[in-house]
């Protein structure tokens, strides 16, 4: 009798232990999702219920995988699976701490590039050891439970079925409950089923769902139901000024077509390429997406030429994408040359430089090509295999320019040896023709000293420079430029009560300032300064600064502001300008290229570019990576759904807000498709050769019709 009772007890204990997987793994899934959210966002919101639901679902699926094999197999799956989830969260956390954005699966392929900044990575790991230990607690807990309490024996079929059923049922329930918060744009329901927005998905659905959606988008391309068509009446009746120009025999819309007689009001025409007929291209297109893009372009309102069209035509051009530069780090006494460029030429008071999905590569892509990047691929990489007639190098080579490009870091980083050649540049970088002294952080000043003779005697020239001295980290142990300029930076910021990393940041940017000062002096000596225009803008805000350091530079709290964090600087300056031109218009980095093309008198079609000439009368719109946006009337935050009004709220209708949301989604999608379909190649009947190319407008495709 006693033995029977003991046997019954053992059976009950074994049965109880068989069910431990369900509560343990479900609890660990919830723990990891909530912990990650708190590490990034520091608080929970109403949408955090989905972190709990999908976290538990992830845990239950892992539990269901550990019931089908013998003990050793189940144990291996449990340890490996849970460790992978924990480590993946840690990787996402460290990546976010470094780059200010999340790691998409497409960026995993660039992990080798990131290893060039091991010092930065190790420093971020050191700073986040506490968080990392918290993320590893589930693995530690599993080990301890395995030693003292639980077993991984293969349970009976009933238990295996219960494990699978619980995972499937909770997954179904979680998906159904997405309806609770409605199906509005950017709701959890839309993010799960339709719109994939990396940052919003992380915020509202968590790491697990976002990773699945990221993989799905990479495979499918994230196609959306955005369709534009033209019917017969559209093709017959849509007429633009470019049609009128063609009928009247005009063959260009450059600055020479604008009246300059002071006694006669100037007549400004549309900024279009008269040789491009999107209606004919629509009719000729066999590919549905090319047809879609052609119809979209027909329906866009071109920007108009203006009083500044051709202002710098024939000028030499110095174009700078400045690593991590920001308006708050520019001081007249510390960085006088940058201060001059930002304040003595065109002064853009409401300029924003959003950080995009893949940090610098996306920032440079937007600056150089005037399109928005895609979260599920490296758009700049992809552009290397497309025809890019409006890239500044290609556009100016057609006008007889000599175009050079430089980057004072490894040539293979972000594939610049191909992307920049495709934009029309003779490109040099470290180990690719650029020979400068070797530091952990290379010098912008040394770069200009090494290369200026290659272009300064050309007439005219275009020099493009992606800088490096302003790169993180901002300290005196690992950044040679910070250390080099430390004494000067500390002296010029004395009494400003700035933290050490903020001062080190200024020291790093002083190297660029010295490089520009040196180049200006050399141009002046050569008698070419008056005929040279400088364009300087960052790739993104300095995410390498601590929040306290960034806020101290700004003199206010900007690090927590979804918009003001990206409020930045664009300088367009020439010594020939007698006085500054203040521009209050809301604008962004995507607008840089069309603005510069207009100033240089280059013919381009404003209906294709995602950005608009800032100096034109185009509508004001700034779009951010999470699809939030600002106009002259409102700011819309997609994370919170909050609308900020910059005018009387009563004057802004809900239809205006809805239309702008739709416009943002359409612009982002169609801009991506311009690259995906090589739309410029179709429009101009050309293919990329990945070498310096001509921008001569080809009408071969249209003439076939």
β-pair partners for 573: 534
At 274 the pLDDT is: 94
On whether the CB atoms of residues 356 and 366 are closer than 8 A, the answer is: yes
**CA–CA gap between residue 555 and residue 683 (Å, rounded):** 48
At 702 the pLDDT is: 38
Match 């400045």 to its residue by tokens.
Answer: 322
Inform me whether the pLDDT recorded for 6 exceeds 60: no
**CA–CA gap between residue 20 and residue 501 (Å, rounded):** 49
Inform me whether the pLDDT recorded for 236 exceeds 50: yes
At 697 the pLDDT is: 37
Domain ranges (residues) in the chain = 2-220, 232-298, 316-617
At 15 the pLDDT is: 46
pLDDT, mean of residues 618-636: 97
**CA–CA gap between residue 129 and residue 132 (Å, rounded):** 5
At 700 the pLDDT is: 39
C-alpha dihedral sign at 99, 104, 110, 115: positive
pLDDT, mean of residues 35-49: 96
At 130 the pLDDT is: 97
**CA–CA gap between residue 487 and residue 471 (Å, rounded):** 19
**CA–CA gap between residue 381 and residue 366 (Å, rounded):** 13
Provide, rounded to the nearest whole percent, the portion of the chain with pLDDT above 70. Answer: 88
Inform me whether the pLDDT recorded for 5 exceeds 50: no
Residues 6+ apart with CB under 8 A from 601: 254, 255, 309, 310, 312, 313, 314
Judging by DSSP bridges, how do beta strands 621-623 and 426-430 pair with one another?
Answer: unpaired
Q: Which fold has domain 316-617?
A: Alkaline Phosphatase, subunit A (3.40.720)
On whether the CB atoms of residues 506 and 489 are closer than 8 A, the answer is: yes
On whether the CB atoms of residues 63 and 167 are closer than 8 A, the answer is: yes
At 220 the pLDDT is: 81
Q: Choose among 406, 435, 403, 380: nearest CA to 320.
A: 406
On whether the CB atoms of residues 627 and 197 are closer than 8 A, the answer is: yes
At 263 the pLDDT is: 57
How much is the mean pLDDT over the chain? 90
Inform me whether the pLDDT recorded for 498 exceeds 80: yes
326-351 pLDDT per residue, tens: 999 999 999 999 999 999 999 999 99
At 152 the pLDDT is: 82
548-595 pLDDT per residue, tens: 999 999 999 999 999 999 999 999 999 999 999 999 999 999 999 999
Inform me whether the pLDDT recorded for 257 exceeds 60: no
83-98 pLDDT per residue, tens: 999 999 999 999 999 9
Judging by DSSP bridges, how do beta strands 621-623 and 402-410 pair with one another?
Answer: unpaired
CA angle 686, 689, 691 (to 5 degrees): 125
The distance in angstroms from the start CA to the end CA of the chain is 98
**CA–CA gap between residue 526 and residue 594 (Å, rounded):** 29
At 434 the pLDDT is: 96
Identify the residue with better confidence: 88 or 266. 88
232 pLDDT band, cuts 50/70/90, is low
At 61 the pLDDT is: 97
At 223 the pLDDT is: 65
350-364 pLDDT per residue, tens: 999 999 999 999 999
On whether the CB atoms of residues 450 and 436 are closer than 8 A, the answer is: yes
Inform me whether the pLDDT recorded for 53 exceeds 60: yes
């Amino acid at each position: 009798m006693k033995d029977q009772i003991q046997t019954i007890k053992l059976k009950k204990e074994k049965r109880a232990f068989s069910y431990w997987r369900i509560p343990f793994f479900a609890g660990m899934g919830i723990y990891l999702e909530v912990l990650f959210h708190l590490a990034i966002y520091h608080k929970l919101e109403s949408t955090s219920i989905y972190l709990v639901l999908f976290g538990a679902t992830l845990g239950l699926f892992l539990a269901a995988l550990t019931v089908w094999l013998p003990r050793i197999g189940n144990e291996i799956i449990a340890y490996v699976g849970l460790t992978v989830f924990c480590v993946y969260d840690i990787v996402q956390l460290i990546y976010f701490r470094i780059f200010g954005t999340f790691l998409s699966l497409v960026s995993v392929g660039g992990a080798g590039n990131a290893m060039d900044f091991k010092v930065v990575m190790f420093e971020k790991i050191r700073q986040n050891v506490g968080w990392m230990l918290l993320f590893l607690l589930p693995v530690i807990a599993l080990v301890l439970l395995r030693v003292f309490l639980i077993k991984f024996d293969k349970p009976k079929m009933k238990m295996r079925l219960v494990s699978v059923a619980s995972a499937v049922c909770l997954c179904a329930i979680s998906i159904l409950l997405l309806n609770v918060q409605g199906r509005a744009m950017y709701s959890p329901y839309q993010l799960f089923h339709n719109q994939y927005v990396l940052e919003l998905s992380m915020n509202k659905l968590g790491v697990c769902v976002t990773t699945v959606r990221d993989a799905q988008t990479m495979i499918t391309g994230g196609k959306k139901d955005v369709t534009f068509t033209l019917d017969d009446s559209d093709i017959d009746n849509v007429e633009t000024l470019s049609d009128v120009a063609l009928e009247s025999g005009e063959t260009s819309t450059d600055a020479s077509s604008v009246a300059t007689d002071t006694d006669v009001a100037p007549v400004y025409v549309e900024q279009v390429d008269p040789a491009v007929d999107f209606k004919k291209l629509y009719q000729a297109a066999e590919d549905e997406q090319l047809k879609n893009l052609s119809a979209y372009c027909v329906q866009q309102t071109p920007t108009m030429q203006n009083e500044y069209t051709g202002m710098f035509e024939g000028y030499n051009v110095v174009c700078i994408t400045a690593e991590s530069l920001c308006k708050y780090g520019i001081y007249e006494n510390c960085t006088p040359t940058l201060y001059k460029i930002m304040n003595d030429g065109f002064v853009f008071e409401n300029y924003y430089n959003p950080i995009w999905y893949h940090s610098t590569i996306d920032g440079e892509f937007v600056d150089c090509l005037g399109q928005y990047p895609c979260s599920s691929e490296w758009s700049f990489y992809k552009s290397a295999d497309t025809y890019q007639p409006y890239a500044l190098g290609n556009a100016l080579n057609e006008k007889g320019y000599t175009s050079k490009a430089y980057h004072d870091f490894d040539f293979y980083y972000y594939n610049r040896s191909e992307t920049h050649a495709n934009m029309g540049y003779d490109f040099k970088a470290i180990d690719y023709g650029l020979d400068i002294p070797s530091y952990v952080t290379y010098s912008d000043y040394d770069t200009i000293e090494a290369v200026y003779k290659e272009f300064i005697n050309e007439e005219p020239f275009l020099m493009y420079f992606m800088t490096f001295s302003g790169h993180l980290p901002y300290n005196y142990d690992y950044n040679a430029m910070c250390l080099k300029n430390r004494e000067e930076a500390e002296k010029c910021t004395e009494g400003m009560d700035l933290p050490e990393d903020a001062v080190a940041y200024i020291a790093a940017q002083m190297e660029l300032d010295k490089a520009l000062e040196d180049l200006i002096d050399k141009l002046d000596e050569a008698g070419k300064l008056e005929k040279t225009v400088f364009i300087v803008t960052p790739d993104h805000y300095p995410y390498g600064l601590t929040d306290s350091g960034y806020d101290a530079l700004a003199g206010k709290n900007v690090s927590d502001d979804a918009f003001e964090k990206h409020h930045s600087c664009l300088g367009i300056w020439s010594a020939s300008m007698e006085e500054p031109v203040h521009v209050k218009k809301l604008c962004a980095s995507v607008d840089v290229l069309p603005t510069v093309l207009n100033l240089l008198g280059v013919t381009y079609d404003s209906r294709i570019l995602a950005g608009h000439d800032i100096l034109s009368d185009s509508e004001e719109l700034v779009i951010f990576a999470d699809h939030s946006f600002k106009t002259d009337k409102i700011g819309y935050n997609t994370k919170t759904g909050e609308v900020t009004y910059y005018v009387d709220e009563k004057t802004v209708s809900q239809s205006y807000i809805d239309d702008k949301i739709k416009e943002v989604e359409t612009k982002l999608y169609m801009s991506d498709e311009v690259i995906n379909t090589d739309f410029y190649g179709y429009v101009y009947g050309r293919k990329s050769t990945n070498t310096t190319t001509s921008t001569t407008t080809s009408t071969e495709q249209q003439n076939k019709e």
